[in-house]
Structure 1
């Protein structure tokens, strides 16, 4: 389940494999970029913004392949200064994998491949990617400008995140945390875990949450602690089946009180998301005191 930590790890993977290297070939298997050729472009680096990946590169060849006029990053507007961004979103099932040249690609069936980027030393393969786009870097804001503070940004703004959450006080806190316009990087896993650790029922309204700042600070700590990990953990135990408090454990006993964990939905209709909570540890009322605060 790609969330902010997964996307951060993916950005680091791509940055280590490609940054500073020239592309010797590319293959786009998405209609809007089917004729794009990035051969000759130099990869400047890759960063994450919430659940979005931004791979930045520079080369006049990029603009020609994309069918667009380069936008210079310098004041001269010289095409040689053009910097472009390859944007992708993993959503529920996307992934990037890197391989040595000639190594067998094991990330999934070939029909799921959307992007292939080659250098002399590595091949990056994007599987089941969503929202693939190539834009001038100066236009990145059109793709990610709507996002709230990034939980994994070293300079993130907790006050702004709290302000955005509080802008709709009657909204269920579970839905509010999942809204990337409030804070970027949380998905259903971390939302379930953060709410359990603070003893808050996901249907509790934002207005009923006594200290929203405590929620977002804990969310940041959880994501920050799991950067670079292959196995996500919020319990302090990274072993599979013991690493999470409530997410995906419907019908199983709560690790604290033994009550069966329940599964529900954040929201309704086609955009509804899975929710998991303990009805005893997270009663349908505002918590009166902090609960567990373990991140491992």
Structure 2
């Protein structure tokens, strides 16, 4: 699943293509918004919050979420699309380019004022210039008996982390993913590490994965074989999805709590 860094870079690609330009075509290929016509509207901004992307006019916000397979691509007008047309969920075009959202998990058109309703439940955005580390720690500590590996994946605590970066963050801090949040003495340092990792991945890509999807390969720190484990998390807002995602770690560098 694309994580906050991917969405952040997507917005960076879309801004020069769309912002300050008037739409000559809008095509929403989802039933609920199929009749929406934004032709003549000026795109004023493209912003993100965690894994959510917002393309804004002066009155409306086009909210999209990539979910598992989604992505945005930009083409010059008349250029052949590099993905099947049947996979397109939204097309926004001006006199120069077409921005096409393929396989998007969510597409909706909202009044600008309703953006806050979309993100109100989320924790602080790790890529926001005003990231609130204290609030992130407060949210994590609200469930001290939850494993840190599960808590990092919950967007209600910190917005933007997915399965890749929760594995990387725990490895860098030498914390076993099953460690209970309340048992981590250096929780502020772990939150700071999350902030650093996500910003490096978003602003200085590519992030070279240390442990993610490297099950049975040698640990880059000590050489021991890395392992993967699925964490049980009854507090997850999506327990089925949680059970399907393994977290990767080194059993020597990240000893299991007793």
TM-score bin, normalised by smaller chain: over 0.9
Distance verdict in 2 for CA 1:265–1:131, change over 3 Å = same
Residue 109 (structure 1) shift = 2.0
Residue 9 of structure 1 is matched in structure 2 by: 9
DSSP-derived class of the 1:147 partner: coil
1:285 has 2:257 as partner: yes
The corresponding residue for 1:53 is 53
Q: 1:181 aligns with which of 143, 156, 159?
A: 156
Q: Specify every segment of 5 or more residues in structure 2 that has no aligned partner in the other structure, as ranges.
A: 234-238
Structure 2 residue aligned with 1:270, among 235, 240, 254? 240
* Deviation (angstroms), 1:198: 0.5
- 1:249 and 2:214 equivalent? yes
Deviations 1:49-71 (A, max 9, x none): 0000011113xxxxxxxxxxxxx
Give the distance between the partners of 1:30 and 1:157, measured in 2 at CA.
35
SS in 2 for 1:222: helix
Any conservation in 1 of the 2:69–2:105 contact (CA below 8 Å)?
A: no
Q: CA RMSD in A?
A: 1.3
Instruction: Name the SS of the counterpart of 1:245 in structure 2.
Output: coil
Deviations 1:112-170 (A, max 9, x none): 11000000111100011122111101111111111111001111110000000000000
Q: Are 1:87 and 2:63 counterparts?
A: yes
Whole-angstrom distance in 2 between the partners of 1:251 and 1:112: 36
Q: CA deviation at 1:230?
A: 5.0
Alignment of 1:129 with 2:104, yes or no, is yes
User: Unmatched 5+ residue regions in structure 1?
Assistant: 59-82, 234-242, 287-296
Cα distance in 2 for partners of 1:100, 1:266 equals 45
Q: Does 1:216 pair with 2:196?
A: no
Q: Residue in 2 aligned with 1:156?
A: 131
SS of alignment partner, residue 44 of structure 2:
strand
Question: Counterpart of 1:280 in 2: which secondary structure?
Answer: coil
Q: CA deviation at 1:267?
A: 3.1
Three-state SS of the structure 1 residue aligned to 2:80 is coil
Matched residues in 2 for 1:219 and 1:230: separation?
15
Q: Give the alignment of 1:90-109 within 5 angstroms.
A: 90-106=66-82, 108-109=83-84
CA distance in 2, matches of 1:100, 1:125: 11
| Larger Rg, first or second structure (1 or 2) | 1
Q: What's the offset of the Cα at 1:92?
A: 1.8
> Does residue 204 of the first structure (1) align with residue 179 of the second (2)?
yes
Q: Return the alpha-carbon distance in structure 1 between the equivalents of residues 135 and 230 of structure 2.
A: 27
Q: How many residues align?
A: 251
Distance across 1 between alignment mates of 2:204 and 2:87:
25
Cα separation, 1, equivalents of 2:191 and 2:48? 19
SS at match of 2:5: helix
- C-alpha distance in structure 1 between counterparts of 2:19 and 2:31, whole Å: 26
Task: Provide the C-alpha distance between the structure 2 equivalents of 1:254 and 1:161, rounded to a whole number of angstroms.
Answer: 29
Give me the whole-angstrom Cα distance separating, in 2, the residues matched to 1:119 and 1:229.
Answer: 30
CA shift, 1:91, in A, is: 1.5
